[in-house]
Structure 1
Amino acid sequence: MTVTASESRDAIGPGEISSEELVVWRMLQRAQVRITRLLETDLLVEHDLALASYDVLSQLSEAPERRLRMNDLAERVLLSRSGLTRLIDRLQRDGLVQREACASDARGLFAVLTDAGALRLAEATPTYLRGIRTRFLDVLDADELRQCAAMLTKLFPDAAEH
């Protein structure tokens, strides 16, 4: 007799996780961490640019007028607000980003991508995309990629927006 995943889950009480489910969860965590570390290493070695910095520059480049309010940027990147503030400080010192006051909110600030930041992003993007291609996309076939997208969309329906 074959037991389906949902039947297996029904045999486990609320708040419990089977050993198989825990293995899948840990594999997902490890895959994300390993791929992220490899992308980070590539960007640091080839462009002296941390992955979080790349993410900020990328988000700003895709925003209207290459600018985002700090609060909006913090929601789009995987950093705390204080972590983002420290990162923006470094990017500003490097001339890649500048801060601008928000005319409609005296307390609000925009992070704005500079021309130097856009150039650095353009130089680093082929490295970033190559890393995604070789470490993720080329490992999965087209059907597996569709399944992966369907599963991630099920987990995070609004994730594709950013």
Structure 2
Amino acid sequence: MTITAGESREAISSEELEVWRMLQRAQVRITRALEADLLVEHDLALASYDVLLQLSESPGRRLRMNDLADRVLLSRSGLTRLIDRLQRDGLVEREACTSDARGLFAVLTDGGAARLAEAAPTYLRGIRAQFLDVLDGDELRQCAAMLNKLFPDPCTGQDSC
């Protein structure tokens, strides 16, 4: 069976569509499992963990809100609501940008860094159980090559990013 997309006449075979659906199901199942583990063991949503992780990996443990939203794949308004909750919990702070009066930084607090450190083993264990241990070394390299083909590293071939 071939499926066409309206007037564009772009055909997708049943096999191609099934691969697409398998990719979607794998992503959803893995993230749901990670989310469940983090919530049960640390009362921390996966999106919150991702924000704390991104901030911890950034210089000065801070990122402009727009850059953070891009990194964690949230809308600006979704990130604002999440940062509100994380700030209420003492895990992040907002800081004005001195060079741009309209800009704001999200800054990881010491409490946020401690919460991230507590949750990291659970997160890493989940990645290992749900993904890494399921694939052998060759399959992981093939997966990396395929994903890099879909989403090339923008820094490749550049001196700095």
TM-score, normalised to structure 1's length? 0.89
CA distance in 1, matches of 2:61, 2:111: 12
- 2:53 is matched with which residue: 54, 58, 61? 58
- 2:120 is matched with which residue: 118, 121, 125? 125
AA at the equivalent of 2:21: R
Q: 1:158 Cα shift?
A: 2.3
Q: Mark the CA change 1:160 to 1:57 in structure 2 (over 3 Å): closer, same or farther.
A: farther
AA at the equivalent of 1:83: G
Q: Deviations over 1:113-150 (max 9, x none)?
A: 00000000000000000000011000000000000000
Contact 1:153–1:159 (Cα < 8 Å) also in 2: no
RMSD, matched Cα: 1.7
AA at the equivalent of 2:56: S
**SS of equivalent to 1:28:** helix
Q: Which residue of 2 aligns with 1:4?
A: none
Q: Which residue of 2 aligns with 1:148?
A: 143
Q: Which residue of 2 aligns with 1:135?
A: 130
Identical-residue share of aligned pairs (%): 85
**SS of equivalent to 1:157:** coil
| Aligned residue-pair number | 150
Superposition misfits of 4+ residues, deviation over 2 angstroms: 158-161
Q: 1:152 Cα shift?
A: 0.1
Q: Which residue of 1 aligns with 2:98?
A: 103
Q: 1:160 Cα shift?
A: 8.4
CA distance in 2, matches of 1:108, 1:78: 19
**Which runs of structure 2 are paired with 1:4-153 in the superposition (5 Å)?**
15-153=10-148
CA distance in 2, matches of 1:18, 1:103: 54
AA at the equivalent of 1:91: L
Contact 1:88–1:97 (Cα < 8 Å) also in 2: yes
**SS of equivalent to 1:17:** strand
